[in-house]
Amino acid sequence: MIITSLLALAQASAPAGDYHVEIRPQDGASAEVFITLHIEGDSDGETMLQLPSSWGGEDELWRGFTGISVQGGTLQPADPETPTERVVTHDAGADLTIRWQIIQDREGTPSAAARDNYRPWLQPSYVHLLGQTIFLRAERDNNPLSGDMPVSVNFDVGGDWALASDLEIGSLPYDRLGASVIVVGDFRVSEQIIDGAPVRVAVRGEMSDAQIMSVTRSAVEGNLAYWGDAGEPYLVTALPIEVEPGRSSFGGTNLRDAFAIFGTNNVPDEIIARVLVHEHSHSWVPGRMGTLTQGPEQPQDYWFSEGFTDFVTTRAGLMSGAWDAEAAIGQLNEFLAEYMASPAREDPNTAIRDGFWSSAEHQRLPYLRGNLFALLVDQHIHTETNGAHSLDDVLFAMRDAPEQGLVAHTFVDFVFEVTGLDITELHQRHIIEGETIILPANTFGSCGVVESGLQPVFVYGMELGANPDGEGSLVTAVDPDGPAAAGGFAPGMVLLERVAGAVGDATQDSAFRLLDLEGNERVMSYRPTNGRMEMSQRIVPADADLMTNGCLERLAGRAL
């Protein structure tokens, strides 16, 4: 099956590089993947080939490349000191055909424990590839293959295997080549038209096609409603991964016009919804606003690219009906509790740069800090402009700017340009230096009051996992010295639903309808705290209908 799109015929110039991706099943053995690149060599007779090195926390990605060959020139021997570089010598401007094979550079199948799912998967029944890990780059002095330069992509898939990729448009800017996903094999591909554009889902194994498509539709509709933009093609791929019994997992990577999921089939809709709305929001934040700093300094920009995406996620989810105002407040309270409990809360932004890929606390911090900073700035704008402006106006201006730069570095200037407010000091204190963000009591208007002060530390005292025998969550472990044990909870119980209390709130009892160890249904409660006190913030919801008292509009960004 050969698939080629001619979408770019209207372009004035021919593609500067042509990629051909060939995928072949192997009768019970791992599939084979070959990629061919046709380009014009540099005018000085030497073209540098750059293989991928590090991306998404993965290193030595060049190990997935083998059998590199060249027609039209001579491939020089590889230098062991620079394994990501290859040099081709040739006549000036020669036509070069470069071919290589992609391999799975480790044994096994996708699993949560291995944490290596961004690398290529080549299995007997399917192939899963991310663009950052499979395409090499030709670096030429006079005409480098980079940036907005157009390249074409076509596919040759053997047998009757299904194909789904966001590269099926045929021609695209070179810098979009890496932000892509290719799945081939026993994937089930379905499509819906949303606002005039095709939205596809490619799922395999026991993951639910209907569930992924339903939540994807909600995510797309919510973001289109928030941004006021027209529909565009979008692809979600879902690759099942192995987890320990009783556990669940759900995550993935955003690819601007696609999202690659790695997960299990026992994840609640609300978790999937939050992840998918967040990831689709990345198409705008920072996708249509500008770029991030490249290289090892990039995590210093994540307070904007991740934290502000979470800010938009809450709004977009409300606009699609993925959650209501009460649920949104619950989510925000979880953010507040997690932020206040973070041991890295007051670390400077440079600590995120240095620890993002090695420290769980620093990896999580930009999401939390950035979201709260967005809420703080939004409240500041509302107050100082008497409701004439909001943070939404700033984000829309960044999206619509004719010239876009580094988003995390231009944000303060855009706030001033749109609202006339100088937030330089706020940015320096809370983002650069890491001073704790305390939200004003009236941050959420009619939704309720933000209470700040000393509160008991929230401690679950037990670990939960998916119930392999049916509904609810299985209690997999209980701290013998913790509050859950004191409340009579034990491993093996199944929590069916929370009937009182809230995650992160240790000021009231948490009560659960559950099945005890004898299988009897009952209600048990306990105070989820270890007795210690710490600084905290939480939203106390107003005693009103939050969907009709103006709260929904405030949280969704539709209030003036």
How many Å is the maximal CA-CA distance in the chain? 81
Where are any strands of DSSP class E within 158-220? 162-165, 171-173, 181-185, 188-194, 197-203
Number of H helices, E strands in the chain: 12, 27
What is the DSSP pairing of strand 95-102 with strand 29-40? antiparallel
The CATH number that applies at residue 375 is 1.10.390
Which amino acid makes up residue 459? Answer: V
- Distant-in-sequence, close-in-space partners of 417: CB < 8 Å, separation ≥ 6: 397
- Peptide bond between residue 198 and the one before it cis (omega within 30 degrees of 0): no
User: Any idea what DSSP says for residue 192?
Assistant: E
370, part of any domain: yes
The last residue of a domain, from among 184, 201, 218: 184
Hey, what are 145's tokens? 């293959």
Q: Give the whole-angstrom CA distance, residue 261 versus residue 255.
A: 11
Q: Give the whole-angstrom CA distance, residue 388 versus residue 444.
A: 16
Same domain, 125 and 5: yes
Q: Give the whole-angstrom CA distance, residue 517 versus residue 353.
A: 47
- Taking only the tens of pLDDT, the chain with its 560 residues reads 444 433 333 333 456 789 999 999 999 899 999 999 999 988 889 999 999 998 888 899 999 999 999 999 999 988 888 999 999 999 998 999 999 999 999 999 999 888 899 999 999 999 999 999 999 988 766 555 666 788 899 999 988 999 999 999 878 888 889 999 999 999 999 999 999 999 999 999 999 999 999 999 999 999 999 999 999 999 999 999 998 877 788 889 988 899 999 999 888 888 899 999 999 999 999 989 999 998 889 999 999 999 999 999 999 999 999 999 999 999 999 999 899 989 999 999 999 999 998 899 999 999 999 999 999 999 999 999 999 999 999 999 999 998 889 999 999 999 999 999 999 999 999 999 999 999 999 999 999 999 998 888 888 899 988 788 778 889 999 999 999 999 999 999 999 989 998 877 888 999 999 999 999 999 999 999 988 888 889 999 999 999 999 999 999 996 53
> Which backbone phi and psi does 327 adopt, to 5 degrees?
-65, -35
User: Any idea what DSSP says for residue 206?
Assistant: T
287, part of any domain: no
Same domain, 233 and 376: no
161, part of any domain: yes
Q: CA 221: distance to chain centroid?
A: 18
425, part of any domain: yes
Q: Contact 353/365 with Cβ under 8 angstroms? A: no
The CATH number that applies at residue 468 is 2.30.42.10
Hey, what are 367's tokens? 């999401």
What is the DSSP pairing of strand 197-203 with strand 188-194? antiparallel
Neighbours of 70 (CB within 10 A): 21
Q: Contact 88/74 with Cβ under 8 angstroms? A: yes
Same domain, 392 and 510: no
- Domain of residue 333 covers 295-447+544-556
Hey, what are 81's tokens? 């000191």
248, part of any domain: yes
Same domain, 169 and 194: no
Neighbours of 359 (CB within 10 A): 16
538, part of any domain: no
| Of residues 170, 224, 450, the one with CA closest to residue 333 | 450
> Which backbone phi and psi does 51 adopt, to 5 degrees?
-90, 155
Q: Contact 169/5 with Cβ under 8 angstroms? A: yes
Give the DSSP H or E segment for 472.
Answer: none
Same domain, 306 and 363: yes
Neighbours of 327 (CB within 10 A): 17
Neighbours of 406 (CB within 10 A): 16
Same domain, 223 and 241: yes
Number of domain units in the chain: 4
> Which backbone phi and psi does 171 adopt, to 5 degrees?
-125, 140
Which amino acid makes up residue 290? Answer: G
Same domain, 146 and 40: yes
| Of residues 374, 372, 348, the one with CA closest to residue 362 | 348
Q: Does the CA dihedral 409-413-414-416 come out positive or negative?
A: positive
* Residue-wise pLDDT tens digits, 41-85: 888 899 999 999 988 888 999 999 999 999 999 999 888 889 999
pLDDT at 189: 97
Q: Contact 446/542 with Cβ under 8 angstroms? A: yes
SS3 154: strand
Which strands form 46-50's sheet, in the order they lie side by side? 74-75, 85-89, 46-50, 137-139
The last residue of a domain, from among 157, 184, 211: 184
* Residue-wise pLDDT tens digits, 346-402: 999 999 999 998 899 999 999 999 999 999 999 999 999 999 999 999 999 999 998
Same domain, 156 and 47: yes
121, part of any domain: yes
Q: Give the whole-angstrom CA distance, residue 437 versus residue 365.
A: 12
pLDDT at 558: 67
CA-CA-CA-CA dihedral for 68, 69, 70, 73, to nearest 10: 100
410-432 CB burial, b ≥16 within 10 A, e <16: bbbebbeebbebebeebbeebbe
The last residue of a domain, from among 129, 163, 184: 184
Q: Contact 240/205 with Cβ under 8 angstroms? A: yes
Same domain, 245 and 261: yes
Which amino acid makes up residue 506? Answer: A
Place of tokens 């004035």: 12
513, part of any domain: yes
DSSP 497-545: EEEE--TT--SS-EEEEEE-TTS-EEEEEE--EEEEEEEEEEEEE-SS-
Q: Give the whole-angstrom CA distance, residue 147 versus residue 433.
A: 34
Q: What is the pTM of this model?
A: 0.80
The CATH number that applies at residue 267 is 1.10.390.10
Same domain, 198 and 100: no
Q: Contact 220/234 with Cβ under 8 angstroms? A: yes
Rg (CA), the chain: 25
Hey, what are 56's tokens? 């998404």
Same domain, 5 and 100: yes
Q: Give the whole-angstrom CA distance, residue 423 versus residue 383.
A: 13
Give the DSSP H or E segment for 175.
Answer: none
| Of residues 179, 175, 168, 114, the one with CA closest to residue 150 | 175
Q: CA 415: distance to chain centroid?
A: 25
Same domain, 319 and 411: yes
Neighbouring-strand partners of residue 128: 121, 183
Q: Contact 166/258 with Cβ under 8 angstroms? A: yes
pLDDT at 72: 97
